Amino acid sequence: MRGAGVLLKFPHSSALEGTKEAVRELRPRRGASPLRIVYAFDPQRDAVFLIGGDKGSDAQFCERIISRAERIWQEYLDEQAKGLHEEEP
């Protein structure tokens, strides 16, 4: 799925349920990996990796990761609005 970007679909990526933000979950495929990476696309359509972790047998993983991801995402958007993530020429 290399280079698919915003077109990457299930089972590799999907919308993260239970969030108010447009964040997605990336599920790396290397064996039966329980690793999860939460990411979103900013208004310029750049991928922003927010947080990741090992889901394993943690029944509360999604709850914890969603609240953290939403907080990180909002901070990123606030910083971006202030011009803090602009590329230098």
pLDDT digits (tens, 9 = 90+) for 4-60: 555 666 667 777 888 888 888 888 766 666 888 999 988 888 889 999 988 887 888
Query: Is residue 58 helix, strand or coil?
Result: coil
Count: domains in the chain = 1
Task: Tell me if 17 is assigned to some domain.
Answer: yes
Taking only the tens place, the pLDDT of each residue in 60-88 is: 888 888 999 999 999 999 999 998 877 76
Instruction: For residue 57, tell me if it sits in a domain.
Output: yes
| Residue 28 resides in a domain | yes
- For residue 62, tell me if it sits in a domain: yes
Closest C-alpha to 6, from 32, 44, 35: 44
**Per the domain annotation, does 1 fall within a domain?**
no
Asked whether 85 and 75 are in contact (CB, 8 A), the reply is: no
The whole-angstrom separation of Cα 65 and Cα 81 is 24
Which domain does 68 fall in, by range? 7-81
> Is residue 87 one of the residues assigned to a domain?
no
For residues 44 and 64, what is the distance between their CA atoms, to the nearest angstrom? 28
